[in-house]
């Protein structure tokens, strides 16, 4: 039997300060055999550990098309994330995964895709964005609507212009009213409002959405108004998790374990679940 | 197959002499607890039932899953924890033994939890059929009765002549009997068939009601007395939720799986502060839904054996049994 709770040891290869409280970490597998064999799909997550403090759950924020490393993006908010935040290049941390299901990219072939993200919710969406941009010809028009509370809260600022340069790809950036700076050239407004103004094509389109629960709540009616069908809207539920493997009993919504049957659900699937997420 | 009371005593004493760990219910003040014993005389099979179940011998309250140390700055060394020991659990009630095949489902679907499974493989369960119950027992309402042998390795049942009828259930059980063959006789006597508590609710009605009534005003009302202490979950032989935490010093430490409870507000709170179960009524509803709707939906088993511990020991008189009886009535109207 293998110890399913034993993490891979990872070397912190690069640290990028996304915001005042959020960092991206590039991680390399210390075991070369694992580094070669490790595969995952966009939307999957892992348990990241700062030894001595514990484990935290985040998505894998890099794309499966970028081999040999993984990236995570996290906000300093508790004991574990504070320790991870304070770690340095060259340090060792733990990683277990990949866990959960993924965004069904095979179903998105040839379709227009609109990505909608709020705040640090861009991290799991970014994995799919790079995945799609790296295989650009397989998909139709790509629209990215990204908002944060303030300019200082935007993550992946350096990558947003890069995405906009891809063929047939539109990037719309926004901050909440009051969150703009003098030199802000993006939009000012809440994500649901900006999405409605952007008016992405829904007839052959799918929408992927990730952000705070309140943003998702107000964005779903807009997607409906724009003509997106519930089965073509996908989100990723980020419930609190400890084991990641369907044992510890805290991430369930109804009889669904988010860590195993999720974290990716269509809006149609969400409608079948009790409203407890 | 039979064993006489004297030979049962000899069996337990022999196991102890052979340096095997025997866990059995012993008197503990007014209460009773499962403890390692050093003589047969310590065993108490009478009421009250042991306050805690034997769960901790299978799913440890604090289970080391790895040890870590810091050999140099930024470097980590990880080692595996020690293997578990065999425990012979004597005097378990039939309801409690059933809880293990029920929990096997969650600890083996897709990913195998080796910590639970290794203990499960090593431990030997010797169950003694009930001859009495108290007002909190409701095994017969969840499809179990004093003669249920599921989950036991060896099942003992008093006979009308005062001996014990021995039913070897598993290979582990048969092996143990073979090791002490001379203490058993190959004859049969009529067992005492105790019928157990009266049926208190109709299980078949509970699940359909729960599936339809996630939002029902009864939840807020019925769960008002609950203080969210989580005692019910710790005493429950089938509750299996856990936390994973690191305990140690700056030099190193142990990562443990520790018992946790769905009754605590922290259990589901997100890093953002958002909490899907932000009220005690939602947390109590989760416990009922999980046991009588979600778990049956997923694993085809009810996550309750009717041992009554959660009812017997609730400091707020918050009776799961009353809740189920109330749901049963609501389902009928």
B129-169 pLDDT, tens digit per residue, is: 999 999 999 999 999 999 999 999 999 999 999 999 999 99
Residue range of the domain that includes B97: 2-332
Regarding whether A112 and A224 lie in a shared domain, the answer is yes
For residue A208, the cross-strand partners are A115, A234
Q: Is the pLDDT of residue B187 over 80?
A: yes
CB contact under 8 Å between A276 and B66, yes or no, is no
Nearest to A255 among B76, B244, B298 (CB): B298
Task: Determine contact: B301 vs chain A, CB below 8 A.
Answer: no
Shortest Cα distance from B214 to chain A (angstroms)?
A: 7
pLDDT surpassing 80 at residue B91 = yes
Residue B333 has pLDDT above 80, yes or no: no
Q: What is the pLDDT of residues A219-233, one digit of tens each?
A: 999 999 999 999 999
Share of chain B above pLDDT 70, in %: 100
Q: Which of A1, A243, A257 sits opposite B112 (nearest CB)?
A: A1
| A218 and A111 in a common domain | yes
Q: What are phi and psi of B70, to 5 degrees?
A: -115, 90
> What is the span of the domain harbouring residue A187?
105-236
Same domain, A195 and A211: yes
Same domain assignment for residues A45 and A68: yes
Q: Note whether A207 and A86 are same-domain residues.
A: no
Residue in A7, A10, A12, A51 to test binding to B, most B beta-carbons within 10 Å: A51
* Chain A residues touching residue B80 (CB < 8 angstroms): 3, 6
Span A74-123, pLDDT tens digits: 999 999 999 999 999 999 999 999 999 999 999 999 999 999 999 999 99
CA distance A206 to chain B (A): 27
Q: Is residue A114 part of a domain?
A: yes
Residues B53 and B310 sit within 8 Å (Cβ to Cβ): no
- Selection from A58, A70, A91 nearest residue A27 by Cα: A70
Residue B242's φ and ψ, nearest 5 degrees, are: -145, 165
A48 falls within a domain: yes
Q: Is B278 on the interface with A (CB under 8 A)?
A: no
| Residues in A touching B244 (Cβ below 8 Å) | 5, 54-55, 242-243, 248
Q: What confidence tier does B74 reach under pLDDT thresholds 50, 70, 90? A: confident
Quote the number of domains for chain B.
1
Whether residues A134 and A223 fall in one domain = yes
Report ipTM for this prediction.
0.93
Mutate to test the interface with B, among A46, A72, A78, A249 (most CBs of B within 10 A): A249
Q: Cα Rg for chain B, rounded, in angstroms?
A: 22
Residue the block writes with tokens 């995945």: A131
How far CA B63 is from CA of A187, B67, B84, in Å, comes to 52, 11, 10
**Distance between CA atoms of A229 and A243, rounded to whole angstroms?**
33
Name the A residues in 240-269 with CB < 8 Å from any B CB: 240, 242-243, 245-250, 252-255, 257, 260
Residue of B113, B251, B279 best to disrupt the A interface, most CBs of A under 10 A: B113
In a domain, A274, yes or no: no
Q: What percent of chain B has pLDDT over 90?
A: 95
Domain endpoint, select from A36, A70, A99: A99
Domain termination residue (choose one: A66, A81, A99): A99
Please give the residue of chain B at the shortest CA–CA distance from A78: B271
CATH number at residue A36: 2.40.30.10
Q: Identify whether A242 is part of a domain.
A: no
The CATH number linked to A215 is 3.40.50.80
Which pLDDT score is estimated for A275? 87
CB A146 within 8 A of CB A122: yes
**Residue B332: pLDDT band by 50, 70, 90 thresholds?**
confident
pLDDT digits (tens, 9 = 90+) for A15-50: 999 999 999 999 999 999 999 999 999 999 999 999
Name the percent of chain A in helix, strand, coil, to the closest 5.
30, 30, 40
Same domain? For A179 and A58 the reply is: no
> Which pLDDT belongs to residue A276?
87
Which residue, of A84, A99, A114, is where some domain finishes? Answer: A99
Partners of B211 on chain A (C-beta within 8 Å) are: none
The pTM of the full predicted model, rounded to 2 decimals, is 0.94
Whether the per-residue pLDDT at B203 is higher than 80: the answer is yes
β-sheet with A22-29: strand ranges across: A54-59, A45-50, A92-99, A8-17, A22-29, A70-75
Using left for φ > 0, alpha for ψ between -120 and 50, and beta otherwise, residue B162 falls in left
In this structure, is residue A259 part of a structural domain? no
One domain, residues A112 and A222: yes
Same domain, A223 and A168: yes
Q: Which of A160, A220, A218 is nearest to A189 (CA)?
A: A218
Number of domains, chain A: 2
Residues 169-228 of A with CB under 8 A from B: 212-213
Q: Give residue B322's Cα distance to chain centre.
A: 21
pLDDT of residue A238: 83
Q: Are residues A89 and A25 in the same domain?
A: yes
Burial B14-25 (b: 16+ CB within 10 A, else e): ebbeeebebbbb
């Amino acid at each position: 039997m293998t110890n399913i709770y034993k993490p891979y040891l990872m070397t912190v290869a690069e640290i990028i300060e996304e915001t005042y409280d959020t960092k991206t970490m590039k991680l390399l597998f210390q075991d070369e055999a694992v580094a070669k064999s490790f595969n995952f799909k966009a939307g999957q997550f892992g348990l990241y550990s700062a030894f001595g403090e514990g484990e935290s759950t985040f998505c894998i924020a890099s794309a499966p098309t970028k081999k040999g490393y993984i990236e995570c993006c996290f906000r300093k908010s508790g004991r574990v994330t504070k320790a991870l935040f304070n770690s340095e290049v060259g340090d060792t941390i733990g990683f277990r995964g990949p866990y959960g299901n993924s965004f069904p990219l095979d179903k998105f072939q040839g379709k227009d895709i609109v990505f909608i993200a709020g705040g640090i919710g861009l991290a799991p969406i970014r994995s799919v964005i790079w995945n799609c941009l790296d295989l650009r010809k397989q998909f139709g028009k790509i629209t990215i609507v990204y908002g944060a509370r303030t300019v200082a809260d935007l993550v992946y600022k350096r990558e947003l212009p890069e995405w906009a340069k891809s063929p047939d790809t539109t990037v719309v950036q926004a901050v909440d009213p009051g969150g703009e700076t003098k030199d802000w050239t993006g939009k000012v407004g809440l994500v649901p409002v900006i999405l409605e103004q952007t008016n992405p094509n829904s007839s052959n389109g799918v929408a992927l959405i990730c952000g705070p629960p309140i943003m998702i709540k107000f964005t779903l009616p807009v997607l409906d108004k724009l003509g997106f069908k519930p089965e073509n809207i996908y989100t990723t539920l980020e419930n609190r998790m400890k084991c990641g493997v369907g044992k510890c009993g805290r991430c369930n919504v109804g009889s669904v374990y988010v860590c195993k049957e999720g974290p990716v659900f269509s809006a149609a699937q969400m409608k079948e679940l009790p409203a407890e997420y | 197959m039979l064993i006489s009371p004297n030979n049962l005593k000899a069996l337990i004493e022999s196991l102890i002499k052979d340096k095997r760990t025997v866990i059995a219910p012993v008197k503990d003040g007014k209460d009773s607890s499962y403890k390692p014993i050093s003589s047969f005389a310590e065993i108490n099979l009478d009421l009250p039932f042991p306050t805690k179940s034997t769960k901790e011998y299978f799913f440890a309250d604090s289970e080391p899953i790895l040890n870590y140390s810091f050999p140099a700055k930024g470097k980590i060394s990880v080692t595996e924890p020690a293997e578990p020991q065999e425990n012979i659990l004597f005097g378990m009630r039939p309801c409690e033994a059933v809880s293990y095949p029920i929990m096997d489902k969650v600890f083996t679907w897709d990913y195998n939890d080796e910590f639970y499974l290794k203990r499960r493989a090593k431990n030997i369960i010797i169950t003694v059929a009930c001859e009495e119950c108290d007002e909190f027992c409701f095994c017969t309402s969840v499809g179990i009765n004093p003669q249920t042998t599921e989950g036991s390795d060896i099942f003992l049942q008093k006979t009308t002549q005062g001996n014990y009828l021995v039913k070897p259930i598993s290979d582990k059980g048969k092996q143990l009997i073979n090791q002490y063959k001379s203490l058993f006789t190959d004859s049969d006597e009529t067992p005492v068939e105790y019928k157990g508590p009266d049926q208190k609710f109709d299980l078949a009605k509970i699940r359909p009601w729960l599936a339809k009534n996630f939002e029902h005003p009864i939840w807020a009302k019925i769960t008002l007395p609950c203080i969210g202490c989580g005692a019910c979950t710790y005493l429950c032989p089938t509750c299996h939720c856990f936390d994973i935490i690191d305990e140690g010093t700056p030099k190193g430490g142990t990562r443990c799986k520790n018992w946790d409870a769905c009754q605590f507000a922290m259990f589901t709170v997100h890093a953002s502060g958002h909490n899907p179960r932000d009220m005690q009524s939602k947390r109590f509803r989760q416990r009922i839904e999980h046991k009588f709707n979600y778990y049956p939906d997923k694993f085809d088993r009810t996550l309750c054996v009717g041992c009554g511990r959660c009812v017997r020991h609730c400091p707020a008189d918050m009776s799961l049994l009353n809740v189920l009886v109330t749901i049963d009535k609501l389902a009928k109207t």
